[in-house]
Structure 1
Amino acid sequence: MKIAQVTPLYEAVPPRLYGGTERVVAHLTDALVDLGHDVTLFASADAETRARLIPVRDQAIRLDPAPLKSDLAAHMTMLAEVLKRADDFDVIHFHTDMIHFPFFSRCADKTVTT
């Protein structure tokens, strides 16, 4: 099965410090790879995963020293990238609250939100 994992961009996957959701995404993603699934992780470039990584920003937001950054812009950019590739996946698993709802209505039947 081709699965996309879409994680929040606040922390690396797995997180360097605190980050409950990102830690769960890391374990889930690697477990799905171990089961033989074709998994793609949309995350920051500092993620460590056995899945295919699509880096959507250079560094997780919270530890990024840049003075000007927008978490909303970062997440919208990631969602645009996921939407461009939506047809490549059987399941798209969002861990990003509900921000993706209006953009993925055409393929809602293959999305999961936690």
Structure 2
Amino acid sequence: EALVDGDRVDYVGEIAEHEKAEFLGNAAGLLFPIDWPEPFGLAPIEAMACGTPVIAWNCGALPELIDQGVTGFVVDSVDDAVAAMPVLLGLERRQVRVVFEKRFSATRMARDYLAAYMRLIGIQEARAS
């Protein structure tokens, strides 16, 4: 709270669903300092969908979600996060979005589910394409 100065750090509060894309898309990056074993990390995925890179703590599933140096950085400390910030600002936002599309889009998810279902019923994946 002491760092909220209204100039460099603002307290925004909760963002409504219809405001997320604009808010995240205009952000320089998303800082995700979780300290529990997050099983997925929807907020970082939402940021990457907007082309916004992420700095996240090395906890839970975050190392699996973030491509180090491409979509952001997984860090072990506040000092690491601060050190990563200048590099984060230079990441290619279009590439962040491309990686999101490749790994986390609804199309990717649907294809993966279809392939899993087909394996379960014994149909070869080659026939599914």
TM norm structure 1:
0.37
More strand by share: 1
Structure number with higher relative contact order (C-alpha < 8 Å, ≥ 6 residues apart): 1
Structure whose CA Rg is larger = 2
Provide TM-score, normalisation by structure 2.
0.33
